[in-house]
Structure 1
């Protein structure tokens, strides 16, 4: 089975086209080598892929006939992704959410004051030069 089709079948990518693009961009390696989308996948191959700032590592156990349900994915691959990768993403999410969520509308008074202070600082620098 082709690597792009395999990654689509085991639900790492939502469409085959997205999996193909990831292969073309060099985000996917099989046994340490960057691969093209047409590369054949066999049992015992070790696949590494980078998606959403996480480096996933897994070993192919079997080849599915077609796309499988989420509960059946573990039959076809053995996940070897370290937990530190997921913890790093959680830390990034928490650091972004401490202040304000994206799309919260107009700036608050504090935001406006910070912006005004920043703009005043730039004006002072340009006048001193």
Structure 2
């Protein structure tokens, strides 16, 4: 019996291409293939053609090495180049080797995370339960009587 190494996960399928939803799951952008399919169907994952994100695509579209993808997860946007194909979900360090993020995308994402850190927490001004006076003001505001 041979021992499996990290490079065994990069063994390409026969045609050297893979379904997009399967690759997104293996690269750990989404926790399940179903979530990956939903993101693709919603238009949050697109191929980049000539520097511009393409129109909506299907989850069954095949991804190949060298393809550039535009992925939106929540508020964060990733623009990546596919380096390897794998239909098996491995450890995070191995999955990170399947793609490379473009420098512009990485800089924009870091800047967005910095501005988010600088903003105040939305509920930080709320202190505990409302008092009787606060509750009466809330009821008056909501026209409860």
Q: TM-score with structure 2 length normalisation?
A: 0.67
What secondary structure is seen at the aligned counterpart in 1 of 2:100? strand
1:53 aligns with 2:75: yes
Whether the 8 Å CA contact 2:25–2:33 is kept in 1: the answer is yes
RMSD: 3.2
1:92 aligns with 2:109: no
Q: Which residue of 2 aligns with 1:16?
A: 33
Q: Which residue of 2 aligns with 1:43?
A: 65
**In structure 2, distance between residues paired with 1:73 and 1:23:** 19
1:63 aligns with 2:80: no
Q: TM-score with structure 1 length normalisation?
A: 0.74
* Structure with more helix by fraction: 1
Gaps of 5+ in 2: 1-17
Q: Which has the higher contact order (CA 8 A, sep 6+)?
A: 2
Whether the 8 Å CA contact 1:54–1:86 is kept in 2: the answer is no
Aligned length: 119
Gaps of 5+ in 1: 124-129
Mapping of residues 89-128 of structure 1, within 5 Å:
89-97=113-121, 100=124, 105-107=128-130, 112=134, 116=137
**In structure 2, distance between residues paired with 1:108 and 1:98:** 20
